[in-house]
Amino acid sequence: MSTRRFDLIAFDWDGTLFDSTGLIARCIQEACRDLGVAVPSDADAAYVIGLGLTDALQHAAPGLPVERYPEMGRRYRHHYFARQHELLLFDGTLEMLQSLKARQHLLAVATGKSRRGLDDALAGSPLAGMFDSTRTADETASKPHPKMLLELMDHFGVPPERTLMIGDTTHDLQLAANAGAASIGVSYGAHDAETFDEFSPLFVAHSTRELHDWLLRHG
């Protein structure tokens, strides 16, 4: 009988596996400049990371008419895809995932990215082929709605108590809570770890090494 606590471990992408918070925030700001709307602060731009496009723009660009959301999305993608080659995995991420894979955990991604965005990112990264399944906001629902995590649990037949969600934002932790699953927060991404307490994560990791160690001991 397995001694694992969790059979399914779902990871957020940006700010959790990849050091992408700064680039995403800058691309949001550049897209706002392109369209002539108020440019959000660094904090406001970073806050929306992990949300689907509509939810993100309602917060980051509240003065933008809804009919211009597709245009904003195109400008954001223009800036992001031009620079995504600059993104790097957090140190130790690949080794951590390989270790979890060797322990027979099911590994998944639950992200606010679009399907095209995630597929492009996976294809050009060392993580291609690492995950057993993935879900994106545009094919499910924006975080913190639990649909993407519920779909992953249903796909693998894993109950909430055997599922762990790991992410760098309150959106990730609230998603887990809404799905009845446990969560871990990481402090090196988009949101301040002091905001995590409301959602009672099992642990807050301050580095990938800390996260890896915790998962080996308790996952």
For the annotated catalytic residues, the residue numbers are 12, 14
* Sheet of 163-167, strands arranged across: 133-136, 106-111, 8-11, 163-167, 182-186, 203-205
Q: Distance (Å, rounded) from C-alpha 150 to C-alpha 68? A: 31
Q: Which helix (H) or strand (E) holds 47?
A: helix 42-47
Cis geometry, peptide bond prior to residue 144 (ω within 30 degrees of 0): yes
Burial class (CB in 10 A: 0-12, 13-18, 19+), 2: exposed
Could you tell me the CA-to-CA distances from 102 to 3, 138, 191 in Å, in that order?
Answer: 14, 31, 30
The token pair at 215 is: 């998962």
Backbone phi and psi for residue 159, each to the nearest 5 degrees, phi listed first: -75, 165
Q: Distance (Å, rounded) from C-alpha 93 to C-alpha 156? A: 23
Number of H helices, E strands in the chain: 9, 6
Is 171 in a helix, a strand, or coil? helix
